Structure 1
Amino acid sequence: LLVLLPAGFFFRAVASGGVFIAGDTLRVFYPTRAFWAARVSALELPEWFPYDGFGQSFVGAINAGAFHPTSLLHLVLPLGAAGTVTFLSCYLLALVGTYALMREYRVPRAGALFSAITFAFCGYLVAITNNSTYLLSASAVPATLWAAVRFLRAPSVGRLAAGGALLALVAAGGDAQGFAMVNGFVVLVACVEPAAGTWRRRVVTCALLVATGGLLAAPQLLPAAALAGSGEPGARSLAEAQRFALAPLRLWELFMGPFLADVEGMRGIPEEVVRNLVPSGGFGRVWVDSVYVGTPACVLALAALITSARQPRAWVLAGVWLLLLALCLGNALPVYGWVYQLLPPWRPFRYPEKLVPWVSLGLALGAGWGWRACLE
């Protein structure tokens, strides 16, 4: 069922032979994958990309995803077909990873499937098909956390290799911020997981896992760090960093769907009104078209918090989720500015809306725990 779901959800792409071409998928994904396939087919290492300005390091441009395993599809399939298979595989990975993570926490199969569908087909992941970099990285996060939980509970060489490989897969997707965030969440899991053992064991196993992921991702991270060190990456100011922030009014989308979106020209709210409501300049100027998760998932996540009210780790996780939500809101709250000023490594990152998949994943996982709590 998990294998069939992506093909059913994106039936038009499978049945018509159409391809995903919105936004940077057309401007970045296909050109870089075509370049990669042409060089590798000629048994050459794609070191230098000459088609961007005066050229730049191809391996060092982390968003090119030179080491992502789906690049191999372009050696055996036409460009469009390989792209479609790449996108559908992301949703399969998100489904399987979320399902496995929920089953690791004893959530019944139906509840685990509900969580998996909630995350894999949430508004952000569906709408971010316009930028493959963030889809490739975000879709690997649940599987990475699943591998981390298994290793922290019962360390072994095989589980360490699996966890490190999945951490490296997030980096290979091309989202440096996503890689930093998932390492932070591995540390969080090590802190709150009751079966992780003593604090000494938690520190050792967590450090081993993070170091292994960093070493396996080194072929991507080191050239990218060298390229970043020779320039001025990311946001040059706080205002630029917060350019695409989640407007507070859009929080209703978590429950209702994109009620301000223009679906085939049928919007009932005039454009000039939307332009004033959304600070980035109207709905057409947002980072992603939808942040929908669904009312059932939100209600079940709330049920999980209520039934776990006496457990300190539940409030720790809820606090982290609220912090992520505050960061997504950008200049609507001072939190993003505080992090920008107090944490210099954060400054190259930009666009608070890029953190929305972490909010969506939190609600999806909370829904699974709420499902289990309701049945119990």
Structure 2
Amino acid sequence: MAHRLMRAVRDQRMGWLAAGLVGVVVLALFFPAASGRGVFSFGDILSLHYPERAAYERALAAGELPLWSPDVMAGYPLLAEGQFSPLYPPSYLLHLLLPTELALNGFVILHFAWAGVGMYLLARGLKLSHAASVLSALTYMLGGFCVAHLNHLNIVAIAAWLPAFYLAARTAALRLRGGWRGAFRPLAATVACWAAILLIGHPQMAMLSLLIVAAGMVAQAVAPEDDAALEHPRRSGAAARTIAALAVVALLGAAQAAAQLLPTWELTRLSQRAGGLDPDFFASFSLHPAYLLLLFSPFPLGDPYPAISVEVVGYVGIVPLMLAAVAILGGRRRGALFWGAMALVSLLLALGRWNPLYILLLRVPVLNWFRVPARYLYGFGFAMAVLSGLGYDALAQRARASLRADAATLWPWAAAAAGSVAAVAGARALGAEGMYAVWRWLPLGLAVGGALAVGWLWRGCRPATAWLGACAALVTLDLLAFAATFGFSYNATEPREAFVAEPRVAAFLAADAGEEPYRVYTYEEIVPVPPVMRESLYPNLSMLHGINALGGNLPLTLTRYAEYMAEPTPRKLDLLNVRYLLIPQVLPVDEASEFYDLEDPFAPTLVGRHVTFAGLRVRSVVVESYVSHSVDLADGVVAAEVVLLDRDAERARLPLRIGLDTAEWAYPRSDVRANIRHSRPGIARAWPARSGFPPENHEGYVYRAEYALAEAVSVTALEVLPRELPRAYIRVERVILIDENGEPHLLAHLIGEGDHTLAYRSEDVAIYRNNDALPRAYLVHRARPLAERPALLAALADPAYDLRSEVLLAEGDGLDVVAPAGDEVQVTLYESSRVELRARSEAEGYLVLADAYYPGWEATVDGQPVPIREANGYVRAVRLAAGEHEVVFRYRPASFRWGAAVSLAAVALLLVGAWRVRRSGV
């Protein structure tokens, strides 16, 4: 009894020491983030997780959950998307207590530590020594899968839970060998782990975790991997009990997470994923056989970005590979064969398209929803971590005669601690290029050192404790060097001040837009560098600042949105209240890049184009334009000519002269003002700008020139021809044709393009103001039902459709009444999940709210419920009688309410079960 008590105390002490070592390693590796000086910012963190978590934190500060966000895709069920883990308790606590960027850091660090501690506990549960368990923990925590996927926060979080999930399930399977008695506690722990994994919000990784655990439970019930099964002799029906328990775990865990799962299921059914994936997309990011070389040398090209995707990195270390081979080939535990089979099957599945049998998974429900076969490296990394520990103990057992009782434990711990400090400090001293250079030879050095240590131990040579310590030190040095080197690439941190800095564009929009709701749309022709992404409010980043946007890039894209935006047009932007178009800037180094920087795809420059339209009798012409790269040009130089045509006959030729009709756009900038050789003509518009080197704030100008014709001429076409300046350096923003009655006709409208005018320009973004944008809410008095979606989208694209006076309905009654004068609509409250409006009209009509149509939105008119109709292919409308009305839209998704009820019931059921078990003493 005393011996068992002493052993338990020693095990507990060693367990705390292991947890402390894991914490030291994690803090040393991620010190910039742990100290708060840096923030993880690469890839999905900046473009997905940080924006979603910022919206989450704002909602928590307001005392609510982020059920809906108006800041992406004209409205989106954000909680249903779930990748920011909104209902996962650690996520909730971190964001309740810390600013978003620190909560994000904490989420990463917490789960890396939990991955290590969990694997240590699993290895101890598998009867590995303390030293071998630490080695398994480091191999899993610092191996390629977790480290490479750091910017996929929820993937790392789920990976962190897998060891604990597996341990709880394994313990339950052992207890179930002898019957149901005594199995409640491990089964309850298994359910809790499964519910946590589901709440983290990555369905693919959750399913892979369940598959791994299910395989382990069944194998443990049928053929246990070690002598622990002797404590639980097998009785008949063990396999059936295990399968039944597995089903109960899956269902009860899913029930506990129902508040997340039901909204996600609803969104999935309405998303592009609903019909499964096409074969090419399904097999995208397969592990090409050539990438197997990364298992031996993870940085063959130096910086892995962007040539090597994080999805194909499965590095687990050189020495762990050797130890895994020892476990499989020379170990005495049959469990090694199970783990070896898991590693092999996972590797074969990761090959994806390069495995001819992989395509069969397209026929497997649920699994056919997910792409990226390389993520099966998850199972490979998990199995290799266990195998490395098994191999380490196998070597220790071969040399047992030469070991003292605790030497195999104490030496490797010291070696691991010293190795972690040396690896991280050395990596930081060498820097990125230095570490990439080191990795050209480091795999060879590790292979030689590992082969010597493993070979020496295999032969049972002395001093065994030193060689075991050498193995541990080599593993730690290897994996810390790998993880630290990744920290110069995909896992780099950004100074906190720069990361959280408010973009200048946010201040501009706040000042320019006024009080009325508006949307922005960012043109995605390029994927710019992060500073440009921030300033251009690249899709999803609008959520950081509470700015409503039409664009968005989320894994579950609504089918209706994808169809609507498959061919974006100026009219579609108008319908969705897009008042600003943002174009990310590239560094202009030639005419092509200069031209691209300012090219508005919905209102292209007229320079170099020939456009036709319905005939007009034109008496005068107004041209609004500006030029660049013109400082050295004198007054009178003809930059371009505007040619008026009637069919093919030329009617007039209007010169755009430098200094008289147009001029340098950055005229007030200090360097331009000091050297410019031409005058400044009349200004049509001035707007805030930032340019030059170094950049300075100044105004930008668009200039106005008016040409009176000798007599009215018939015009059916127009072209703008560049003359003394290249096309890229001339911008004709507007042409207004004034007919013989004095009525102005905007050329952009005549040719079916948008009236967009430059409103802001910096080195990072150009912003065009859409002068045609409809308000967020408005009244129409004509409605046309079109139940067939292709017909509705075709009607929407028809130039004859008057979007300002008619609405197209997917269902509901048509309407055609004379529009009265004086319609009024006022948005009195606009919140994420509630919109209040006041509308007044002298005639019956439809109130159109240009927010996304989605299940769960309810509407009342003067307190009475009314149906919401899908309008114009994507937005909402309600029918109003003549008069003044108070209209309220509220988002109350039944999927969340039912899910929350199921979750509470499942948690209550588990608590009642725990109470009964405790009372019965089982």
Deviation, 1:314, is 4.6
CA contact (8 A) 2:291 2:312 kept: no
Q: Which moved more, 1:96-105 or 1:130-139?
A: 130-139
Report whether the alignment pairs 1:137 with 2:158.
Answer: yes
CA contact (8 A) 2:339 2:387 kept: no
1:218 aligned residue: 258
RMSD of aligned Cα (Å): 2.2
Deviations 1:228-278 (A, max 9, x none): 112221863111122211221221222222323426xxxxxxxxxxxxxxx
Bigger RCO of structures 1 and 2 (CA < 8 A, at least 6 apart): 1
Deviation, 1:43, is 1.5
Deviation, 1:114, is 0.5
Alignment of 1:90-239 (within 5 A): 90-154=111-175, 155-193=182-220, 194=224, 195=229, 197=234, 198-233=238-273, 236-239=277-280
Report whether the alignment pairs 1:323 with 2:345.
Answer: yes
Counterpart AA for 2:240 = R
Report whether the alignment pairs 1:69 with 2:89.
Answer: yes
Length-normalised TM-score, structure 1: 0.88
Report whether the alignment pairs 1:306 with 2:329.
Answer: yes
Compare the two structures and name the one with the higher strand fraction.
2
Q: Pick the aligned partner of 2:307 from 268, 280, 284.
A: 284
Of structures 1 and 2, the larger Rg is shown by 2
Q: Quick one: distance in 2 between partners of 1:60 and 1:348?
A: 17
2:284 aligned residue: 243
CA contact (8 A) 1:258 1:292 kept: no
Q: Quick one: distance in 2 between partners of 1:190 and 1:130?
A: 31
> Does the C-alpha gap of structure 1 residues 221 and 105 become closer, same or farther in structure 2, counting only changes over 3 Å?
same
CA contact (8 A) 1:256 1:294 kept: no
Percentage of matched positions with identical amino acids: 28
For the residue of structure 2 that corresponds to 1:207, the secondary structure is helix
1:257 aligned residue: 298
For the residue of structure 2 that corresponds to 1:321, the secondary structure is helix
Deviations 1:196-237 (A, max 9, x none): 742233223323322222222222222111111122218631
Report whether the alignment pairs 1:351 with 2:391.
Answer: no
CA contact (8 A) 2:323 2:389 kept: yes
Q: Quick one: distance in 2 between partners of 1:291 and 1:40?
A: 37
Q: Quick one: distance in 2 between partners of 1:36 and 1:9?
A: 28
Length-normalised TM-score, structure 2: 0.37
Q: Pick the aligned partner of 2:360 from 325, 335, 338.
A: 338
Q: Quick one: distance in 2 between partners of 1:146 and 1:370?
A: 19
Q: Quick one: distance in 1 between partners of 2:287 and 2:113?
A: 27
Counterpart AA for 2:211 = G
Deviations 1:294-345 (A, max 9, x none): 111111111111235884x6544433322211111121221321222x3132
Q: Quick one: distance in 2 between partners of 1:117 and 1:65?
A: 26
CA contact (8 A) 2:336 2:387 kept: no
Deviations 1:114-165 (A, max 9, x none): 1100110112211212221211212211111112112222344332222111
Counterpart AA for 1:14 = A
Counterpart AA for 1:68 = Y
Counterpart AA for 2:43 = G
Q: Quick one: distance in 1 between partners of 2:379 and 2:262?
A: 26
For the residue of structure 1 that corresponds to 2:393, the secondary structure is helix
CA contact (8 A) 1:99 1:112 kept: yes
Deviation, 1:178, is 1.3
1:19 aligned residue: 39
1:43 aligned residue: 63
CA contact (8 A) 1:58 1:64 kept: no
Unaligned runs of 5+ in 1: 264-281
Alignment of 1:76-87 (within 5 A): 76-87=97-108
> Does the C-alpha gap of structure 1 residues 261 and 224 become closer, same or farther in structure 2, counting only changes over 3 Å?
farther
For the residue of structure 1 that corresponds to 2:315, the secondary structure is coil
> Does the C-alpha gap of structure 1 residues 337 and 309 become closer, same or farther in structure 2, counting only changes over 3 Å?
farther
Unaligned runs of 5+ in 2: 1-20, 176-181, 398-922
Report whether the alignment pairs 1:30 with 2:50.
Answer: yes
Q: Quick one: distance in 2 between partners of 1:190 and 1:316?
A: 12
Compare the two structures and name the one with the higher helix fraction.
1
State the number of aligned residues.
356
For the residue of structure 2 that corresponds to 1:19, the secondary structure is strand
For the residue of structure 2 that corresponds to 1:246, the secondary structure is coil
Deviation, 1:92, is 0.7
Q: Quick one: distance in 1 between partners of 2:284 and 2:244?
A: 39
